[in-house]
Amino acid sequence: MSLADVFPSCLAAVGMDALPNRLGLAPATSAVVILVDGLGELNLKAHRAHARFLSAASSIGGLVTVFPSTTASALATLTTASWPGQHGLVGYKVRDPQTGQIINQLRDLANVPKPMSWSLQSPLYEAAEAAGVTPTVISHPRLSATPLTSVIHEGAPMVSAAKLDDRFDQARAIANQTQPSLTLVYISELDEAAHKFGVNSTEWTVWLEQLDHAVSQFVTHLPAGVGVILTADHGVIDVPAHKQLLFGTSDDQMRGVHQIAGEPRCLQLHLDGTVPLDEVIATWKSEFGSVADVLSRDDVITQALMGPVLPEAASRMGDVFVLARKQVVFYDARDDAQSGRAMIGQHGGLSEEELRIPSLRWGAFA
């Protein structure tokens, strides 16, 4: 079971019988999905003393996120119920085949020719609305109007609230209505703290404690018949500075490489055609093969790491993937700004810490 099963299961539970309920959720009058950015199942287990309420919750178990285990890919999977190979948000940074530009999907989607057509699959919100289920997304104000939010949440009204408690108050007000509803409460603060301070930091655990309290208050005063599930888009690992590996240190290493997309845990190399694919793979394997898997795009597709892959999604993927197998990240030595190298918490790879996500249940879903 994966993150792609969460929305269909919730909607099936509130009456959309045509959708698969792979999570086996019980019937409910309305559903609330709490998506905690960066709270992996193993992260929660490692810090259970700071989250006693969450740690005691009923759990479905066995839920995983998608590859790459990064926010844009995972959130699109949540809302469209499809994997990255189908919706086309195939990484943190992605090459737009129409313009040839590398797009940071968290910030730059407004720069693609048709932003609202960037996702190859539609979110389930309009189908929910047509079936009489009211969709709503509740998030921090600074996220409510970003291009990525507009794309992945197309068809759902947005509600903004800066404080955690206020977001849950909004969700409770919606759940109290008689109309069946699907409400997504998006919590971004833990991921932000993990990137800046690390998932093992005091700053991160303070946010976890606040979340634990806010969720406990929310579900304790939940209207009868409402089901709640808490999950995440990915987990996080801490990568110290001495495990940052630099590429681009020699001309030979970069022969044939035109652009680099992806993220520090999973580079995607776009080639210029001047050097055979096998030679580029061999060069990168000789440099990083002890800590990373170096795969061709065909390897990634054949192994179904992104699920079934549509041709248009394949055109956005790198020719070569450099996928961290150990607790390392990759940065470009030629980047004078040293962009991103202050980050401690990382994700994007295939480790259990990054892939395994919680599936905690309360109310009608417990």
Interatomic CA distance for residues 362 and 285, integer angstroms? 47
pLDDT in tens, 187-196: 999 999 999 9
What confidence category does residue 140 fall into, taking pLDDT thresholds of 50, 70 and 90?
Answer: very high
Interatomic CA distance for residues 328 and 333, integer angstroms? 15
pLDDT in tens, 256-275: 999 999 999 999 999 999 99
Q: Which of 71, 365, 72, 75 is nearest to 226 (CA)?
A: 365
3-state secondary structure of 327: coil
Q: What is the pLDDT of residue 61?
A: 86
- Under a CB-based contact definition with an 8 Å cutoff, are residues 53 and 212 in contact? yes
For residue 259, give both structure tokens.
Answer: 């652009």
265: alpha, beta or left, given left = phi > 0 and alpha = psi -120 to 50?
Answer: alpha
Using the predicted structure, report yes or no on whether residue 320 has a pLDDT greater than 80.
yes
pLDDT in tens, 177-232: 999 999 999 999 999 999 999 999 999 999 999 999 999 999 999 999 999 999 99
DSSP-derived secondary structure for 7-61:
HHHHHHHTT-TTS--TT-PPP-SEEEEEEETT--HHHHHHTGGG-HHHHTSEE--
Give the pTM. 0.97
- Under a CB-based contact definition with an 8 Å cutoff, are residues 321 and 268 in contact? yes
3-state secondary structure of 252: coil
- State the DSSP H helix or E strand holding residue 213, giving kind and residue range, or none if neither: helix 202-220
250 CB-near residues (< 8 Å, 6+ apart) = none
The fraction of the chain above a pLDDT of 90, given in percent, is 96
3-state secondary structure of 68: coil
Largest CA distance in the chain: 65
CA atoms within 13 A on the CB side of 66: 34
Ordered domains of the chain (ranges, CATH) = 3-82+121-236+350-363 (3.40.720.10), 241-343 (3.30.1360.180)
What average pLDDT does the segment 288-301 reach? Answer: 98
- Under a CB-based contact definition with an 8 Å cutoff, are residues 280 and 271 in contact? yes
